[in-house]
A and B are shown apart, each in its own frame.
Chain A
Amino acid sequence: MKPAPFDYVAPASLDEAVGAMATGGGDAKVLAGGQSLIPMLALRLARPTLLVDINRLPGLDGIREASGLLEIGALVRQRALERWAATRSPLFAEVLRHVAHPPIRNRGTVVGNVVHADPASELPAVLLCLEGVVVARGPRGERMIPADRFYRAPLTTALGPDELATAVRFTLPPPEAGWGFAEVSRRHGDFALVGAVAVVTRGDDGAVSRARLAFFGAGGTPTRALAAEQALAGRTATPALLGEAARAAAAALSPDADIHATAAYRRQVAGTLAERTLAAALARCGGAR
């Protein structure tokens, strides 16, 4: 399984990289971690004429937390974020544990995973749930693409063929918020059959002040359960309410079927995982681990 021939360039500056993408005329692909791209090259499912290797670009390997925003540069490896998260974000630590295996995470980048847009990937759903933003650079300059406008279809995003993502920004939940994360996969580290991530904040009166719930593996793109979020807002979270919200969230999904799971399975289990992650998030509210 050897790739079809391609040209290769390793630019030294972001402008050079953008220029190379433009020269590629839609047939160029960014090579960062390569953990998703190289298998596709090997299988000849992707046949770019030009690979733009961005690994030498300076200034893209930073993890910066400021004013409730977590900015992750395009060359931050998943493992680097995992190590950062070990003492700073149990949510990211738990999510990243589910992304493939350490040798993949040592090369794969956070941004690369986010823009690869595999419907069963965890990080795109986290981006949605945390209302994040993708920072894109193209020939016409830089723009921010909010998460809810970023994912279009499987493996397809709002990034133009001559744009590359230089960073992603997540809005970090406040310290008193609780989080929940769950996925079903057939083996540890596999792509999820379906998964859910939830972040909930509770007010002093005990009612839910804010809920965010996103699914992965339950459709062509990660999906926010907006109706369920609204159903929870301002209400006291009882098991019955959580179940109702979870069921409403699942009913709104249009999952796909494949050899690993039926659509009905994905819808059913999305509901179950929504319930479990919302409950876990509520239990973690107020600083409880």
Chain B
Amino acid sequence: MGAKYFGAAVRRREDPRYLRGEGRFVDDMKLPGMLHAAFVRSPHAHARITAIRTEAAKRLPGVAHVFTFADLERWMKPLPLFGAIPPGLSARVPVMMRQIGQLALCRDEARHVGEIVAMVLASSRALAEDGCELVEVDYEPLPVLADVIAAARPDAPVLYPEWGDNIALSFKAGFGDVEAALRGADARVRERFVIPRYVGMPIETRGVVAQWDARDGALTTWNGTQVVHFVQQGLVAALGLPPHKIRVIAPDVGGGFGTKANGYAEDLLIPAAAIASRRPVKWIEDRREHMMGSAHARAQVHDIEIAARRDGTMLAVRDRIWVDLGAYNSWGIVLPYNTVAHLLGPHRVPNLDVECLGVVTTKTPNAPYRGAGRPETVFAMDRIVDCLARELSMDPAELRRKNYLTEADMPYELHIPYRDGNPLVYDSGDFRAGLEAALTAVDYPALRAEQARLRAQGIHRGIGLSGYVEGTAIGPYEGATVRLDPSGHAVVATGACCQGQGHETSFAQIAADALGIPLDWVTVVGGDTAAIPFGVGTFASRSAVNAGSSIHEASGRVKEKIVAAAAALLEAAPSDIEVADGTVAVRGAPGSATPLAAVIRAAIPTFARPGVSALDFEATVYHHQPTVTYTSAVHVAVVDVDTGTGAVALRRYLVAHDCGKVINPVIVEGQIHGGVAQGVGGGLLEEMVYDEQAQLLTGTFMDYLVPTAMELPDIETVHLEYPSPRNPLGVKGIGEGGAISPPAAIANAVEDALAPFGVRVTRTPLGPSVVLGLLGRA
């Protein structure tokens, strides 16, 4: 295989349409006779619904329908649940878990502000909103659960009476003897850290368009989702149609980040509305709806303790974790176990004891968002490591240097399983080398010297480190069909969905190399259930590995078919056939060069003869990926803290990372930059704030603060490469990594800057008011 495109920073092929404003996002879709939907959403965090009166709304000119649960009852099956516990995991880690599926429309109880109570269809969105205001709902407020620790207590009001308490999930995991290690330690540090609720917040909100074709008895729905096949499965279950009668298409999608990888009520309600009204229906989420109705994330509390010898050798970690799940445990084992599996990260720690509780509260449900448990766990670990460094009077870099695993340790087994039930074994990487690379690139000693100089002038500069190991590319599969058209151009269909990651380019690079055709002969089709029947979707940094492996293998099989046909046509041995740039030739015989189109044409039967080979230039592969492959990185943050105003300025940010072999280096850098920006947001600016009545106080972009170009510096990156031994391409996932470490690195930097004041940072975001509070001045 010629590696002409793999590893090359080729320009993205999808860009021209975006640059010209010719993308097709869900809101760009217009169908004749389309109705617009708007929703009546609960203003209460928890309430019984005793009556809904819709007559006034129905009478408003322009309103076509008003639907409540009773009107759509035949379709109101519970929404899909994720995160079932794989047998390999439950065999080794007993987990108590309960999940109750959310109903797309509240039947008689609303469990978070924003939950949908009624749907109005009208000739315009404005009229639909007018109609919503005329729907009258009688609510009886019920007790709210606004705080995760309080909700976990046995005397708290219970959200699901049949449960008896609010614990949706609990388990313990670990290895070794933590108690003994703690007793024998020279140093023990313990702290409680709070990772707030913050979210993906893509610039394009969600949206669903649905059309029912009565003639075909088929539904087509365009949905800004990351998981077209999951959405299809949910619709199959609810609508009672076979899968091939339900087509789910993700058009151009304006950012996903996990927020768009859920089974949402609207995914079902809009198709149901299209069927019930016999008109196409469009719903575009507005930003206020998005804040309360699209999945939230993070929101954990860690009570963590670390023990070490005087020389810094880490001996044990104990962590008690509360995960604030929101009103529905939609994601099961995923977030809690991701948190536990990634806690120790790059550190060698021989004893671990973790207890995790997933607790329901009357808030928007919690779902995976870029990092999915890893940013939270890394925050707890990197913070306690820095606290330990302070306790031991060691430089935090030195403490990490002492405890980070190296290439010589690989493969390295942690004696707990991974979330997929397989053994948790780090397959590749050198975490200490990553640390050294980061420290060298940033010139750590010079930074420390400058810090001392600035401190003498009253300028409070801080340096913070954070390192992670990330299991990426969870399986079990993402298939691909590769098919040549009569001209030799290739269509690659895959279940992966794109929200800006550049699949149309990077997947084409893989296919073009494996097929031996030019890059622009390859068209990638993702996010369409009609293009490939089985799929999983794009999240968990999985597509390059899973889809990429299938594309690589399927392209290889198509290449074999090309070679067989060419060999027959050119009367040569298959081993002598070369395919490059869309031309086949016999090795050593340049005069034999033949366009691929001619080879394909020769395989077409004529009246005179059968084809030279089977007329089959396609292949489908569902590459099996049983478990994850591990990336790692070290982040360095440099901040200046204004002790007069509490303002934190991020001066420098550097990432030294390994993501295995790289398909397109520029796309990889872009992914890191974007992840870092979201992580910086989590560290300094972003929080979804609820009050004691579980009312959502952050309702617009004035309240929920997404970082701008002024809050971020240039992002420096250093690449290391430890190829993955777990897939044919040697690649690893890179979509999420950038977002994992910034809150920890920034928190460590701020605490470092304020070391003369003995401040301890236990939560983010570190806004000015919080920082001044830490200094005891506000």
Contacts and interface: CB of A to CB of B under 8 A. Distances in A.
Asked whether the complex places CB atoms of A and B closer than 8 A, the reply is yes
A23 to B, nearest CB: 23
Contacts of A191: 702
A184 B286 CA distance: 30
Contacts of A4: 130, 133
Nearest to B644: A272
B705 A2 contact: no
A187 B702 CA distance: 10
Taking each of A1, A188, A264, which has the highest tally of chain B beta carbons within 10 Å of its own beta carbon? A1
A43 interface: yes
A261 B777 CA distance: 12
B185 interface: no
B487 interface: no
B715 interface: no
Contacts of B287: 1
Contacts of A39: 700
Nearest to B711: A187
A187 B645 contact: no
A272 B769 contact: no
Contacts of B768: 184, 186, 193, 261, 265, 269
A273 B645 contact: yes
Contact of A188 (B687, B689, B710, B767): B710
A191 B124 CA distance: 33
A259 B711 contact: no
Contacts of B778: 261-262, 264-265, 268-269
A260 interface: yes
B126 A2 contact: yes
Given A43-B288, A264-B778, A269-B768, A5 B130 contact: yes
A260 B644 contact: no
Nearest to A191: B702
Nearest to B708: A187
B286 A1 contact: yes
A190 interface: yes
B773 A262 contact: yes
Contacts of A286: none
B123 interface: no
Contact of B685 (A186, A189, A193, A264): A186
B286 to A, nearest CB: 4
Interface string A93-134: 000000000000000000000000000000000000000000
Contacts of B447: none
Interface in B383-413: none
Contact of B705 (A186, A264, A265): A186
B772 interface: yes
Contact of B767 (A2, A3, A260, A268): A260
A268 B710 CA distance: 25
Interface string B103-138: 000000000000000000000111001100100000
A273 B645 CA distance: 8
Contact of A269 (B130, B646, B705): B646
Contacts of B126: 2-3, 5
B428 to A, nearest CB: 39
A184 B647 contact: yes
The B interface is mostly helix, strand or loop, or mixed, namely: loop
Interface string B698-727: 101011010110110000000000000000
A4 B130 CA distance: 7
Contact of B697 (A5, A259, A265, A272): A259
A273 to B, nearest CB: 7
A150 to B, nearest CB: 24
Interface string A46-74: 00000000000000000000000000000
Interface size range of chain A in the complex: 20 to 34
Contacts, number: 76
A259 B645 contact: no
B773 A265 contact: yes
Contacts of A193: 768-769
Contacts of A262: 769, 773, 778
A2 B124 CA distance: 10
A2 B125 contact: yes
Given A265-B768, A273-B645, A188 B708 contact: yes
Contacts of A3: 126
A187 B772 CA distance: 17
A265 B646 contact: yes
A43 B291 CA distance: 13
Interface string B313-347: 00000000000000000000000000000000000
Of listed B286, B685, B687, B768, residue having the most chain A CB within 10 A: B768
Nearest to A275: B644
Interface string A1-37: 1111100000000000000000000000000000000
A184 B646 CA distance: 9
Contacts of A260: 767, 769
A261 B769 contact: yes
A269 B707 contact: no
Contacts of A1: 129, 286-288
Contacts of A44: 129, 133
A259 B689 contact: yes
Interface string B635-662: 0000000001111000000000000000
A251 to B, nearest CB: 14
Most A-side CB within 10 Å, residue of B129, B685, B689, B772: B772
B772 A268 contact: yes
Given A2-B125, A4-B130, A259-B698, A190 B705 contact: yes
A5 to B, nearest CB: 7
Interface string A176-217: 000000001011111101000000000000000000000000
A120 B365 CA distance: 33
Nearest to B710: A188
A4 to B, nearest CB: 7
A251 B268 CA distance: 57
Contacts of B125: 2
Nearest to B684: A186
A2 B777 CA distance: 43
A28 B772 CA distance: 43
Contacts of A5: 126, 130
A259 B778 CA distance: 14
Contacts of B769: 193, 260-262, 265
Interface of A: 1-5, 39, 43-44, 184, 186-191, 193, 259-262, 264-265, 268-269, 272-273, 276
27 contacts: A1-B129, A2-B129, A39-B700, A43-B288, A43-B700, A44-B129, A44-B133, A184-B645, A186-B685, A187-B705, A187-B707, A187-B708, A190-B702, A191-B702, A259-B703, A260-B767, A260-B769, A261-B767, A261-B769, A261-B778, A262-B773, A262-B778, A265-B646, A265-B768, A265-B773, A265-B778, A276-B644
Given A190-B705, A265-B773, 18 more contacts: A1-B129, A2-B126, A2-B129, A5-B130, A43-B700, A44-B129, A188-B708, A188-B710, A189-B710, A259-B687, A260-B769, A261-B767, A265-B768, A269-B768, A269-B772, A272-B644, A273-B645, A276-B644
Question: Shortest 4 CB-CB distances between A and B: which pairs?
Answer: A2-B126, A265-B778, A261-B769, A188-B710
